[in-house]
Structure 1
Amino acid sequence: MSTQQDKHPVIIGVTGGSGSGKTTVSKKIYDQLHGQAIQIINEDTYYNDQADMTMEERKAVNYDHPLAFDTDLLIKQLSTLRNNKAIEMPVYDYKQYTRSNKTVHVEPTDVIILEGILILDDERLRDLMDIKIYVDTEDDIRIIRRIQRDMVERGRSLESIITQYLATVKPMHHQFVEPTKRYADIIIPNGGENQVAIDLLTTKIRDILVKHGHTELQ
């Protein structure tokens, strides 16, 4: 019989290239797991603190390289949540290209969806996940989505988005992101449009929750 102490958050890693549909898949899983305490944590929140750099230096950083992230902090805080303790999560300011001086208080929940392009790159991070998902989407679809997102949500110009994509996003995807596909338990083609895969995933997550002692499923 599972006790309260046996329970720990079920961690679902959702990765794929920029614009692959990771967010759509994550939100659909979130919506289907009604009745559970669930949250989404984005790897982008853990970009390095670059307050000591000039704006020109910040803009020149390769944000699609593993070294752009404070992965040690992410691993530490995810481990803390997994041990049913709260964290103070950093806040990243996309317009200033650095970490904000604010934090967000985050309590552990039954399910934590960790979303990001390089979450499967570090073995220590992979080992914290109960399910690892790779969202596989064609390059041309991904760049269109990235343009739409960055112009609307992040205040970037079309020229800067295209320049960044050709200089770092595309080559880093093929060098670092796509190779992590081999670590995935499940590969979802066509992103959020693949409702069959999302339904199957949700069923699997519910099974894991029950095994972890979360019996209050609806």
Structure 2
Amino acid sequence: MSEIEKPYVIGIAGSSGSGKTFFLKSFLDHFSSNEITLISQDDYYIPANTKTKEENRLYNFDLPTAINRANFYDHIKDLFEGRTVFQKEYTFNNPLLANNILEIKPAPILVVEGLFIFHYEEINELLDYRIFLDADESIALERRLKRDLIERGYDHDDVMYKWINHVVPSYNEYLLPYKASCDLVIQNNVDDPMIIQQFTNDIAANLRNRIV
């Protein structure tokens, strides 16, 4: 890709527990690393360990101000200009995990994902195609509990506190209002990988003509 050639930009956002991680993996697997690249809002969290222990317990990750918005946008623009981006991977406040340095290379297809990508006006206006993943609240909560308790080792009471006071209000204010304006809405209430696989198959097939 030449430095002046704008990538085709796909924005992917979803409620917590909507299956966004599996969707992204399935979608990216359709392409080589030279064809597609991913930049994730999650890697631009302002580090929770900069807060005191008391603040950190109730630190709200689900606010637009929890993200280094300017850096996130600047790196997207760098990719537009054909420049490789280096960003420290966020480990969700797990001190046992070392931070990897992500090397994000420009490619003809750029996937931008994160909770606030539609809410951030300067990022939303860069998107060519918007995908919204959603799930019923009871199903999303069950998936969130499984992830946070097992994979991230969080305390059950903390997970429930954040779900009620942070996650759901943030979804309702900063993501749900954009659902109707997205190009594709996927209601993912069934844990059937073939359903997601079919969606990604169809999207990838439609994109093939853009990179040949």
TM-score by length of 2: 0.84
SS of the residue 2:154 aligns to: coil
Change in CA separation of 1:105 and 1:29 when aligned onto 2, cut-off 3 Å: closer
SS of the residue 1:11 aligns to: strand
The farther-off stretch of 68-77 and 181-190 is: 181-190
Contact 2:94 2:152 in 1 (8 A): no
Distance (Å, rounded) in 1 between the aligned partners of 2:48 and 2:133: 30
2:79 corresponding residue in structure 1: 81
Change in CA separation of 1:33 and 1:91 when aligned onto 2, cut-off 3 Å: closer
SS of the residue 2:54 aligns to: helix
- Backbone CA RMSD of aligned residues: 2.5
Distance (Å, rounded) in 1 between the aligned partners of 2:142 and 2:46: 26
Distance (Å, rounded) in 1 between the aligned partners of 2:29 and 2:50: 40
Distance (Å, rounded) in 2 between the aligned partners of 1:185 and 1:95: 34
- Which residue identity is paired with 2:155? S
2:180 corresponding residue in structure 1: 182
2:126 corresponding residue in structure 1: 128
TM-score by length of 1: 0.82
| CA shift digits 1:26-77 (9 cap, x unpaired) | 1111122358532332211111245542122123222111111111111110
1:140 corresponding residue in structure 2: 138
Distance (Å, rounded) in 2 between the aligned partners of 1:53 and 1:96: 14
Pairwise CA distance, 1:195: 4.0
| Equivalences for residues 105-120 of structure 1 within 5 A | 105-120=103-118
- Which residue identity is paired with 2:205? T
Change in CA separation of 1:144 and 1:69 when aligned onto 2, cut-off 3 Å: same
Pairwise CA distance, 1:158: 1.9
Distance (Å, rounded) in 2 between the aligned partners of 1:155 and 1:40: 26
Change in CA separation of 1:5 and 1:172 when aligned onto 2, cut-off 3 Å: closer
Distance (Å, rounded) in 1 between the aligned partners of 2:199 and 2:90: 31
Is there any run of 5+ residues in structure 2 with no aligned partner, and where?
Answer: none
